[in-house]
Amino acid sequence: MKFNDFEFSDGKNSQHGTSKKLLLLLALSLVFLTIVPLYLLTTSHSPLPSPKIDISDLRNIGIVKECDIFSGKWIPYPNGPYYTNATCSLIIDQQNCMKFGRPDTEFMEWRWRPEKCALPFFNAKQFLELVRGKMMAFVGDSLGRNQMQSLLCLLSSVSHPEDISHSPTDADPNGHSLNSLMNLYLDQADEAWASQIENFDYVIISAGQWFFRPLIYHINGQIVGCHNCYMENITAVTMYYGYRMAFRAAFETLRSLKNYKGITFLRTFSPSHFENGAWNEGGNCIRTMPFSSEEMKFDGYILEFYLTQVEELRKAQKKGKKRGLRFELLATTEAMLLRPDGHPNYYGRSTHDNVTVADCVHWCLPGPIDTWNEFLLYMMRKEAWRSFYEKLQ
């Protein structure tokens, strides 16, 4: 996707005359295409499913499909996390909360428990067995990178993963200025990612927070509206419009690639938890315990973002089925809505070195974001069994 960036003040716009190419169709900061070449992560185990199949697993496949792992609650888990910042060297400073003096550790002592089933622990060896010789891409913003780095730390107990992802491309060269207005071309996939993604086996797509910013939307080379731009002669539209169209274009791009046969996972909106003010008005996130579902309701703009994503995913599933493509849901929103305690707050070092701004968007490592990869492995395993079961028919 291409951007043109502007600075506007007192209603007057001045174009910088630069054009940016990003690695995703979405208006994001730190947009990137992370490539995990899983054939480099070796174990002594064979790929799943193996020839030695437990028939009870096949009989239970229907039960697995019916289990909603995404609805549940956080329960105390005093055994602690899978890893620490001492055992995983891949944690960047922005999410290395313990390195920078976070005094409490209770945020690492909770596990997600679905309402009607058990969520298996992350099994690094099983993950590597499933993906031997395959490639995985995280396409999204810095929260997608956050998940990728969680995954690498989870795998570090049995392997020696390396972060070889592309350097992040900053969507806003003006340092995330409140006055920065960008053009967002909703229907143009950038070749930087579209040209590489075709041979990937797993693609995890996500985006969210950067759709709150001022944006001018373009389709077919024409301005179709803007969000928070307050410009005359341009129709004001909601942020949900751009959000919907961006995911639609991303799914359409994947579906249109002739040789793409991978499984696409949509990771849903990750909520922030600023209290006592907005992010640029002294807001912070000082809580040390999860919310209960009674304390924090799944509604408002967070629900609207989530439903927008799911609606576009359902359309992609229906269209993709004609080609045998799988589009699956990683519905992390409900679980993460309840974790105001999981953010770095002031206990991280931003890439912009502005320690006066609390980070209530990203997630500490280790922390509740590790649950995203428990979800991911669960869904990957379910897909592997589904595929194997279909071949038996």
- Catalytic residue, from 141, 142, 187, 341: name it: 142
- Catalytic residue, from 190, 341, 359, 370: name it: 359
* Mean pLDDT score across all residues of the chain: 82
pLDDT (average), residues 199-203 = 95
195 pLDDT higher than 60? yes
Give me the pLDDT at residue 222, please: 95
**pLDDT tens across 271-308, in order?**
999 999 988 888 999 999 999 999 999 999 999 999 99
Give me the pLDDT at residue 40, please: 36
Query: Would residue 359 show up in a list of annotated catalytic residues for this protein?
Result: yes
Query: Would residue 71 show up in a list of annotated catalytic residues for this protein?
Result: no
Choice among 99-113, 176-190, 192-206 with the minimum mean pLDDT:
176-190
Q: Which amino acid is at 286?
A: I
19 pLDDT higher than 50? no
**pLDDT tens across 110-140, in order?**
999 999 999 999 999 999 999 999 999 999 8
Query: Would residue 187 show up in a list of annotated catalytic residues for this protein?
Result: no
pLDDT band at 207 (very low <50, low <70, confident <90, very high): very high
Choice among 38-52, 230-244, 364-378 with the minimum mean pLDDT:
38-52
52 pLDDT higher than 60? no
68 pLDDT higher than 60? yes
pLDDT band at 177 (very low <50, low <70, confident <90, very high): low
